[in-house]
Structure 1
Amino acid sequence: MSGSEFGLDRVVRLFGFDPLEGFQLLDAAALDRGQLRPRLHTVIARVDGPDAVSRVKETLLKVYPDDYPAAIGEWADGSEGGKVRTVPLRELDRPPFGVPSLVYLKAGLDDGLRRTSFDRLYEIVGILRSPNGCPWDRAQTHQTIRQNFIEETFEALEAIDTGDVAGMREELGDVLLQILLHCRMEEEAGTFDVYDVLGELHDKLIFRHPHVFGDAAAGNPDEALSNWEAMKAEEKRRRGDASRTSVLDGIPKDLPALPRAYKLQKKAAKVGFDWPNLAGVFAKIEEELAELKAAAGESPERSREELGDLLFAVVNAARFLRVDPEEALARANRKFAERFRHIERRLAESGRTFDQTNLDEMESWWLEAKSGEPGS
């Protein structure tokens, strides 16, 4: 039974709250954490049985503390009045639980209830930037925190690459903070705010997924990506973006060289400028390696030029093999670091330093570390 079937006036009288303070009426069958606003009086309708109340309790506990008062309102068939009993939220699903029932949570002003609220987080960023906020935060500009954005992003990537779940949770929060700071700066300038960013992203995701939100079809990831690229091109056409005249436009100039090379090759390949097969790519790598060897005895400038060509050719091989070259190199870096640390541990165990060992011994420890790796 819904709140409207009970009658909202009866619901208000039953639980004794002032609707002018703000309230929300939610459906237990579709209850989601993102709907919950603890600063509003909250009524959840159609809590129709043990399974429903268990789901409601599980969702509420993601936002409210387990001892938060939860009121259960019940009406007997044909009854004008109702009865209310209040229990700690953790006991919400303990019997007896009559049906149909409503669950009510009083509006709470405790900031602890809002710690998982996006609005509250953005509000805190605004406070930090306000005249009475933090002097450091107030002094920042887009440019002064630009490097912070880069560093936080790489720290998040490291947590992802190493499977550090706790680190991911922390570092993704740091990345989110950078985004909110940039949004707040533009809000102060009167250009846009974080909600404009959310709205634009909302529209983009729906528009570029016609196979989900429209009538298009996508039976596999490649078809889905094709739809995405087609809709992206349609967006540009509608905008009449005349500033982009090259197939290679749209790749950030500040992108690190390795992923930039990958994207340049990928864009060129889309219009047919590509090797016909992997054999041609490997032949090009051999050609560039030979040129690098020939340049080794010449000037550093020539060596740099040939080394760049070789690296570019290797990126081409990565693209053909469907391997992210940045990720591949990052894995190689981690592998090297772990093996080298194994050498350091072996030295420490023997009470020696690098001056007291030799390359052959270090190589044996290196191979020892390698043999202990998964898949070796």
Structure 2
Amino acid sequence: MGKIHILGLGPGDIDYLTIGVINRINSGDRNFLRTAKHPAIRYFKENNIPYESYDYVYDIKEDFTRVYEYIVDDLITKARNYKSINYIVPGNPMVAEKTVELLFKSEDKDIDIELLTGVSFIEPILELVKKDPVNGLKIVDGADFDINNIDINIDYIITQVYNRRVASNVKLVLSEVYGDEYEIYVVNRAGVKGEEKLYKIPIYELDRIDDIDSLTSIYIPKVDKIIKKLYDVADIIGTMKRLRSEKGCPWDRKQTHETIRQSIIEEAYEVVDAIDRKDEEGLIEELGDLLFQIVFHCQIASEEGRFNLYHITTKLNDKLIYRHPHVFGEKKVENSDEVVYNWNKLKYRQKGISTFTDTLKDIPHLPALMKSYKVQERAGQMGFDWDSVDGALSKVKEEYLEVMELINNIEGGDVEEIEEELGDLLFAVVNVCRFLNVNPEIALNKTVNKFIRRFEIMENESRKMGKKLEEMTLEEMDRLWDKAKLHKF
């Protein structure tokens, strides 16, 4: 049986040491420090109090995870050997102290842990920047900082910004969201009297400051709601809620899932169109419009007490994890084809689909070209397919001849029969597209757009000739069409 007393040194100055911590340091138990690189170590030196530091571990282990694990294992061993020890960490032991977190998670039941708190680095930072955390404050680790840590609607402190490399990474992430000119605070040695430094700087200057060390933190103010130029999903939800309120927009208020369902299709096609045009700004706008439709449906459902955005994100993430066992589980895959096969297999199992026909019926009501492509694709996965594109091309020829025969043999043409044969012909053409890895929907859209551009050239040329298209003969228009075809798009 052993005991570890975890003590907090406070943010820096000796005056922040509590009486309880001082008494424990002087108890006669061995003192072990995570790091001796802290201003309050002066108390030990001035009072000739012996201690051992784990600073050497940072040099022998390849990353912080290994460092922290080593320290915890060693502390448990020492607690067993010496029965009672002091483990001393900077600040408050329960704030941004990984070793303490690991100690509490330890499965060693014969080790007792007692906590003596200290002032954290947060209080002196708040005093320097003159901010009240009552409206929300987030603490994040600079060593693992990424875009998922950002919340533009709340103040947050980035700690563990202990060198320029970490500062540079933080700068890049912040710039991606806030831009280079957004002003932030860099705080160094908060709580160390006479040595505290506060810089209010634009983000681009972050890694140009000389005073960056183990006692450096960054304070990011939330985006001002009055002069706001940056928004996140929470803002969109708030805007949508306002639009649907009694003080909002009459049109938005009267909409239902059914009345706006067509908009989802339209916005999705506009996203595809922006991609095809390689229009990055257009893609940003159209993806926003598509996201708005999702938020719109969520707001309607939320008002009815049925579901909200968190239900959607949870369902989606659960699905992604379940259908990627090769990433989140033990299953291994060799290539992307195997990934697709496993995805479909897991999807069918989840939906209770047991027959081949059920897999075809499971395809949603997509535009006909897209649906036919997917039906053929799934049938092919079951082995019902041509061996090569030659078989698919032969089928196109066969269906074409059947259409021609029907047109030649039926007086005036039977619309329903011709419709059926033309459908067979289109279905066969889609099969050729599939063999050549061409999406028929995209291919046809490109051709439609190309036709429009060529038609525009024809019309412009006719104006130059002083003629209207509708007044020209078919032969004259054909000549203009051939001229339009010379243009490359």
Q: Output the TM-score relative to the length of structure 2.
A: 0.68
Contact residue 12 and residue 19 of structure 1 kept, 8 A: no
Deviation at 1:79, TM superposition (A): 4.9
The residue that corresponds to 1:137 in the other structure is 252
| Aligned mates of 1:291, 1:107 — CA distance in 2 | 68
| Aligned mates of 1:323, 1:244 — CA distance in 2 | 24
Return the match for 1:346 from 458, 461, 481.
Answer: 461
The residue that corresponds to 1:122 in the other structure is 237
Contact residue 142 and residue 160 of structure 2 kept, 8 A: yes
Letter in 2 for 1:247: T
| Aligned mates of 2:258, 2:403 — CA distance in 1 | 38
Deviation at 1:64, TM superposition (A): 3.9
1:13-92 equivalences in 2 (<5 Å): 13-16=124-127, 17-64=131-178, 68-75=182-189, 79=192, 82-90=195-203, 91-92=205-206
Residue by residue, what CA displacement relative to the aligned partner does 1:179-237 show, whole Å, maximum 9, x if unpaired? 11111111111111111000110111111112222222233221221221122123224
Helix, strand or coil: the match of 1:296? helix
Q: What stretches of structure 1 of length at least 5 have no aligned partner? A: none
| Aligned mates of 1:223, 1:242 — CA distance in 2 | 20
Return the match for 1:277 from 372, 388, 410.
Answer: 388
**Is 1:260 the counterpart of 2:371 in the alignment?**
yes
Deviation at 1:19, TM superposition (A): 4.1
Helix, strand or coil: the match of 1:92? helix
Residue by residue, what CA displacement relative to the aligned partner does 1:241-293 show, whole Å, maximum 9, x if unpaired? 689972322112x3211111112222222223223333322222222111111
| Aligned mates of 2:249, 2:483 — CA distance in 1 | 52
1:1-376 equivalences in 2 (<5 Å): 5-7=90-92, 8=95, 9-16=120-127, 17-64=131-178, 68-75=182-189, 79=192, 82-90=195-203, 91-100=205-214, 101-107=216-222, 110=225, 115-237=230-352, 246-252=358-364, 254-297=365-408, 298=410, 299-355=414-470, 357-373=472-488
| Aligned mates of 2:184, 2:390 — CA distance in 1 | 68
C-alpha change, 1:11 and 1:339, in structure 2 (3 Å) is same
C-alpha change, 1:354 and 1:116, in structure 2 (3 Å) is same
Q: Which moved more, 1:171-180 or 1:63-72?
A: 63-72
Contact residue 156 and residue 219 of structure 2 kept, 8 A: yes
Deviation at 1:49, TM superposition (A): 2.6
Deviation at 1:96, TM superposition (A): 2.9
Helix, strand or coil: the match of 1:247? helix
Contact residue 12 and residue 18 of structure 1 kept, 8 A: no
Letter in 1 for 2:172: E
Residue by residue, what CA displacement relative to the aligned partner does 1:128-155 show, whole Å, maximum 9, x if unpaired? 1122221111100111112222222222
Residue by residue, what CA displacement relative to the aligned partner does 1:298-356 show, whole Å, maximum 9, x if unpaired? 22222112111111111122222222111111121122222222212222233322245
| Aligned mates of 1:355, 1:347 — CA distance in 2 | 10
Contact residue 298 and residue 308 of structure 2 kept, 8 A: yes
Among all aligned residue pairs of Structure 1 and Structure 2, give the percentage whose two residues are the same amino acid. Answer: 37
Contact residue 75 and residue 81 of structure 1 kept, 8 A: no
Residue by residue, what CA displacement relative to the aligned partner does 1:105-128 show, whole Å, maximum 9, x if unpaired? 244552655843111211211121
Contact residue 38 and residue 114 of structure 1 kept, 8 A: no
C-alpha change, 1:190 and 1:365, in structure 2 (3 Å) is same
Deviation at 1:360, TM superposition (A): 4.0
C-alpha change, 1:205 and 1:308, in structure 2 (3 Å) is same
C-alpha change, 1:5 and 1:243, in structure 2 (3 Å) is farther
Helix, strand or coil: the match of 1:44? strand
Contact residue 356 and residue 382 of structure 2 kept, 8 A: no
Deviation at 1:368, TM superposition (A): 3.4
Letter in 1 for 2:350: E
C-alpha change, 1:14 and 1:329, in structure 2 (3 Å) is closer
Which has the higher Rg, Structure 1 or Structure 2? 2
**RMSD between superposed Cα atoms in Å:** 2.8
